[in-house]
Structures are given as structure tokens and as C-alpha cells.
Amino acid sequence: MSRSGNSAHAHDLWVFGYGSLMWRPGFHYEEVRRATLVGYRRCFCVYSTHHRGTEQRPGLVLGLDRGGTCHGLAFRVAAGRRIETLEYLTAREQVSGVYRDALVPVSLEGEPREEVLALAYIVERRHPSYAGQLSLAEQAQLIRGARGISGPNLDYLINTIAHLESLGIHEPELKRLLSIIGPQFSRSSFNGQGRSGAVALLKIYRNQPVEAPRLKLGERRRFIHRRQISAWASRSRAT
């Protein structure tokens, strides 16, 4: 396996998706390839108070945490769309500064097999929204009763599993988590019945108290600088 040597795409941007970016990238891309990132794993380790939860009722979303291997998708963005794509991703991913953006080596599947540097969003363990290694029961408690501006937290889990399954990527731990939330979901989530079940669970559990840290204003200001850093870096990388 060798680094990509295609000079025609030398200045294009590769973006590694491991969660919602896989099934809702939100940016224009030229091609998409299955890809593998070694050294990081996909896990529910980030409290969400924006996309899949609120300050009053946090949810839980995926992050790339140290250790293991992650199979996902790599999107190639044309050089001319680099800045607009980075600005979009900064606005989407760096709401609270819980991620740090990094260029990481990913192995592309298919032909030709090659290794490229791709932009990935890796969880910042010092951030107050970093949940660490929660038990599956704790993850289920947070996910089943949370909803943010992007919809129910449970939809996020269901969509992630469904897309991974469609790619032939099997994540037994995520499927165990879904079964804990509700055995019916392991049977019906992928045939169109998942969303109605997620809404029903929300009505039951949305007022159930959960233990999750509140991101104080001072802490938010401490980490929100990542948005400015990412915006500056996006322009620097394009020149």
C-alpha cells in the first residue's frame, strides 16, 4: 500500500466520516471510498447538548477516541471547495470545541488501494463534554430520552447502525446498545419502524433525570477557541 500519488488530486481534501457524516455529509464531494483508521475507535463518548440533546437533557453522540480501529467512509472534496467545506464542518462539528481536527492516515479500500491523509474529528478528553467509557446501560439511559436540533438521539444511533450494516461494517457493541434501549428495535429499526419507536420512547423518558456535567460559560469560552483555530487553519491549508 502506498500514499496517493495522483497529482491531479494533490490539493483535494479527504474527510473521514465515522458517524453522521457517513449518512449526512452535508457537503459536495467528488468520490467516496470505504476507509480504515488505525489507532482510534468509534464510541459513544461525547455528551450532546446541541445536535442530539439539550443543556437540560443531554444526549450522547459518537467520537473518535484513542485505541482500536475504526471503519468508515472517506470523502474526496475538490480543491476548489476546500475552504467552504472546512468552514461548514467547523460550524457543524465545533459547536462546543469538544473535538480537535487532525489530519490522520486512512487506508482506502477498493482499487487502487492507497493511503491518504484525511481530516478527522477526534474527541478532546479534557473537555467537560467528554463522557469517557460509560457502560452500555448508562449510554442507553442518555440516548433513549434525548432530542436536539437534529432530532431524537435514538434516530442517530439507528441511522448509524443501518448505514454501517449497508456497508458490511458490523459493530456488535452498537447493536447490543440498541437491544438494551428496546428489544423491538433490534428487529424493526431497519425496516422503517425505528423512528416511530424513537418518538414513543422520548415521551416516556424525556423528563427522566440523568447525570451529565453542565458545560459552564467559562469552560465553554475556554474550548470554543477551537472554532477560531479551525477557521484559521482552513484558510492556511488552502494557500
55 tagged catalytic = no
Of 84, 93, 138, 211, which residue is the catalytic one? 93
| 227 — pLDDT class (breaks 50, 70, 90) | low
Q: Which amino acid is at 163?
A: H
Average pLDDT in the chain: 83
Residue 199 has pLDDT above 90, yes or no: no
> Mean pLDDT throughout 188-215?
61
Query: Which pTM does this prediction carry?
Result: 0.81
Of all residues in the chain, what percent are helix, strand and coil, respectively (each to 5)? 40, 30, 30
Domains (range + CATH), the chain: 2-237 (3.10.490.10)
Residue length of the chain: 239
Instruction: Supply 74's cell numbers.
Output: 472517506
| 91 — pLDDT class (breaks 50, 70, 90) | confident
pLDDT tens digit string along 54-83?
Answer: 888 899 999 999 999 999 999 999 999 999
Strands (E), the chain: 2-3, 13-17, 31-48, 59-77, 99-108, 114-123, 147-148, 151-152
Residue 229 has pLDDT above 50, yes or no: yes
Going by C-beta distance under 8 Å and a sequence separation of 6 or more, which residues neighbour residue 203?
A: none
- Of 92, 91, 42, the closest CA to residue 68 belongs to 42
pLDDT given for residue 210 in this prediction = 72
pLDDT given for residue 50 in this prediction = 86
CA distance 128 to 210: 16
